[in-house]
Amino acid sequence: MDIEVLKRSLDRTDALESVVRELISVLTPEQLSAFQSNTKKRWELAEKNAPSELADTISRTKALAMKLSGIGN
């Protein structure tokens, strides 16, 4: 992979993470609870419905999503 492509990908990931964290920080407690509940439900559906060959990718991505959303702290 080209180093510039990798740098842009990392920059984009960092930017998206900062935006998500900022959005989460302005949620009311009720909104945060609903967000976290919906996040859990959607990942459960993804795990249930994804082909088995995607299980590792789903697991890694889910773990990061849970951490970012404040569920997996």
Question: In this structure, is residue 52 part of a structural domain?
Answer: yes
Question: In this structure, is residue 50 part of a structural domain?
Answer: yes
Look at residue 73 in the predicted model and tell me its pLDDT. Answer: 54
Question: Can you tell me whether residue 65 is helix, strand or coil?
Answer: helix
Look at residue 72 in the predicted model and tell me its pLDDT. Answer: 74
Look at residue 1 in the predicted model and tell me its pLDDT. Answer: 67
Low-confidence ranges of the chain (pLDDT < 50): none
**CA end-to-end span of the chain:** 32
- Model confidence pTM above 0.75: yes
- Give the count of alpha carbons within 13 A of 48, CB side only: 6
- From 65, 67, 63, 70, select the one nearest 24 (Cα to Cα): 70
Question: In this structure, is residue 73 part of a structural domain?
Answer: no
> 24 is in which domain, residue-wise?
3-68
* Count of structural domains, the chain: 1
